A and B are shown apart, each in its own frame.
Chain A
Amino acid sequence: MKALVPELLKSLTGSVKDLLPIIGVIAFFQLLVLGRPIPNLLELLWGTLLVVVGLTLFIQGLKLGLFPIGENMAWDFAAKGSLLWLLLFAFALGFGTTIAEPALIAVAEEAAKMAAQGGMIVDVTDAREAYAKGLRYTVALSVGVAIVIGVLRILRGWPIQYLIICGYLGVVIMTVFAPKEIIGIAYDSGGVTTSTITVPLVTALGVGLASSIEGRNPMVDGFGLIAFASLTPMIFVMGYGVLL
């Protein structure tokens, strides 16, 4: 507990460094390019303070909590030796962390509006809500499937590039058939699904699995789960657009 304080102070300066670029960019464009004053300076300072403190606490918590639990569970699953439970866990983690993701909820609502405009569904609230909900479940399902495929890949030691080529081909093929209103949303959905808590947890799980299995290299095999999680939603969302 006592050792935590000096460490927090040290990482506080790190957080300031992480945020300097974004503050610099905003100040440069607002003051010099647009030539306008910064509105509500007090609010800005308070917000920046919160961001710096928040980032510091998050990084510390990551090292104390998220990383150890992810790796620890990976080792325990490897020791238990049950493939079924591990894959079930992988699916639950992917599905469960995506379904409640606020960015995804926003994108799904946006997509429903487009579908209504494009005449794919009737433009009434009920139809739009049903469409948005269906889309969210589709994306969450696709992330669950992605983590399952990714975990299988780590266990078997398949080279990642072949699976990624298949994924890219899937995206290209679906693009041909998908209604053009949905393509933009589908392509973006890959990036919005991976949240700030999911990424460290899933990364730790992958690295932990690759280290606990003999013959796997954590660097070569441990990463790559996020890559699948940002690829499958593109395919699944376009598939959703084709079916509806």
Chain B
Amino acid sequence: MTEYLVSLWSSLLATIDDVLPIIGILVGFQVLVLRRPIPNLKRVLLGFLLVLLGLAFFLEGLERALFPLGRLMAEQLTAPDFLGTSGSGTDGAEHWERYAWVYLFAFAIGFATAIAEPSLIAVAIKAHQVSAGAIHPWGLRIAVAIGVGIGITLGTHRIVTGAPLHYYIITGYVVVLTQTWFAPRAIIALAYDSGGVSTSTVTVPLVAALGLGLASNIPGRNPLLDGFGLIAFACLFPIMTVIAYAQLSELVTRRRSGLHPHP
């Protein structure tokens, strides 16, 4: 029990370390440049305290429970015995259907970690406020999570087949720009944001473990060259799914109100 508390305490200290520069910048500019009192100072301070405590608990809990298990599973699912590649020495590209469980895991873990991502929750709350309720927090979060899931699945497929990363990413850019052309104007900035937002505290460590595990166990792959790139996929695909979500909900509203599509 005491061991748990000691570990929690050191996690809290580490979080304070990370947050201190940010607080320094905020206080510095507020006091030296803006020179205005902060309204509801007590509430804001309480908020910062809650953020600090919450983040420390959250990170400690992830380290204790979800990360070790998630990493272990990524290793087990990509182990040569499980994949049936031990001793065969064949290239991953020829037998990519062997990796069905890995693909399913990639999608599921991408989706689930995006739903649990605190920064995505934050942006969803803000988007709900700013859009006066037009953007539903869960709608946005599920759209992003589906995007992360698809991205990570495609990213693992790339590691399995060993195709160059930039072909996929550049194709993705073309798709995003084409979608932008047809997208409702109000959603564009939020959609572009959702890529960076979805890959944070929860997603990065688990996904990185999956990528490195795969690249070390598939014959013909070099973990240093092929193990990276999953995060890039997880950043790109939410943009597409969020734009698609906006177009879909626009279509539904139009149908409901009985109006014709614009001329």
Contact in complex: A196, B231 (CB < 8 Å): no
Residues in A whose Cβ lies below 8 Å from that of B69 = 26, 30, 38-39, 44
Across the interface, A191 reaches (CB within 8 A) one of B112, B180, B188, B204, namely: B204
Question: Which residue on B lies nearest to A27, using beta carbons?
Answer: B69
Number of interface residues of A (CB under 8 A): 105
Is A222 interfacial (CB-CB < 8 Å)?
Answer: yes
Residues in A whose Cβ lies below 8 Å from that of B57 = 50-51, 53-54, 57
Q: Quick one: which of B24, B53, B111 has the most chain A CB within 10 A?
A: B53
- The number of inter-chain residue pairs (CB within 8 angstroms) is 339
Contact in complex: A64, B46 (CB < 8 Å): yes
Contact in complex: A65, B121 (CB < 8 Å): no
Is A137 interfacial (CB-CB < 8 Å)?
Answer: no
Contact in complex: B61, A50 (CB < 8 Å): yes
Q: How many whole Å from A94's CB to the nearest CB in chain B?
A: 10
Q: Given the complex of chains A and B, what is the CA–CA distance between A28 and B111 in angstroms?
A: 14
Q: Given the complex of chains A and B, what is the CA–CA distance between A80 and B35 in angstroms?
A: 10
Residues in B whose Cβ lies below 8 Å from that of A239 = none
Q: How many whole Å from B191's CB to the nearest CB in chain A?
A: 9
Residues in B whose Cβ lies below 8 Å from that of A171 = 169, 173
Contact in complex: A187, B38 (CB < 8 Å): no
Contact in complex: A160, B48 (CB < 8 Å): no
Contact in complex: B118, A58 (CB < 8 Å): yes
**Given A18-B121, A58-B58, A62-B47, A192:B231 Cβ within 8 A:** yes
Is B6 interfacial (CB-CB < 8 Å)?
Answer: no
Contact in complex: B18, A222 (CB < 8 Å): no
Contact in complex: A85, B59 (CB < 8 Å): no
Q: Give chain B's interface residue range (CB within 8 Å of chain A).
A: 35 or more
Q: Given the complex of chains A and B, what is the CA–CA distance between A172 and B167 in angstroms?
A: 10
Main secondary structure of the interface of B (DSSP, over half): helix
Contact in complex: A51, B201 (CB < 8 Å): no
Is B192 interfacial (CB-CB < 8 Å)?
Answer: yes
Q: Given the complex of chains A and B, what is the CA–CA distance between A101 and B63 in angstroms?
A: 17
Q: Given the complex of chains A and B, what is the CA–CA distance between A236 and B169 in angstroms?
A: 17
Contact in complex: A161, B188 (CB < 8 Å): yes
Is B259 interfacial (CB-CB < 8 Å)?
Answer: no
**Given A60-B54, A165-B177, A196-B119, A46:B196 Cβ within 8 A:** no
Contact in complex: A181, B224 (CB < 8 Å): yes
Residues in A whose Cβ lies below 8 Å from that of B235 = 190-191, 230
Binding site for B on A (CB under 8 A): 18-19, 21-22, 24-26, 28-30, 33-34, 36, 38-39, 43-69, 72-73, 76-77, 80, 85, 89, 92-93, 96-97, 99-103, 113-114, 117, 160-161, 164-165, 168, 171-172, 175, 180-181, 183-185, 187-188, 190-201, 203-204, 207, 217-227, 229-230, 234
In the complex, given contacts A39-B69, A180-B225, A227-B196, what are 4 additional A-B residue pairs having Cβ atoms less than 8 angstroms apart? A53-B57, A54-B57, A191-B235, A223-B192
Lowest 4 A-B CB distances belong to which pairs?
A: A65-B47, A47-B65, A54-B57, A64-B47
